[in-house]
Amino acid sequence: MNEIKSQRQIIQVGNSLAITIPANIARKLAVQKGDAIDVSFRNDIQLDAQFFQSLETVIDQFEGALNQMRGDN
């Protein structure tokens, strides 16, 4: 499948949020009003080394409790 990238702004439509599809991309995808499409979402939050160090500290601190919750007595 070919990927077409386009950054879009989220708009409000009534009580919902919506993202528009530019006309040229709609033509390339051959989609029309009422068509169903699959959509995937991505969050660009980057996790840094400090986050992973903190996570490792917490896991080490609560390793016993985590093992018990998993049933790894």
Of the pLDDT bands very low, low, confident and very high (cuts 50, 70, 90), residue 1 is low
71: left (phi over 0), alpha (psi -120 to 50) or beta: left
Strands 16-19 and 10-13 come out as antiparallel
Q: Work out the end-to-end distance of the chain between its first and last CA atoms, rounded to an integer number of angstroms.
A: 46
What's the pTM?
Answer: 0.45
- Determine the pLDDT at residue 73: 64
**Mean pLDDT score, 32-56:** 84
What's the chain's average pLDDT?
85
Look up tokens 């499409």; give the residue.
37
Q: Give the span between the Cα atoms of 29 and 35, in whole angstroms.
A: 11
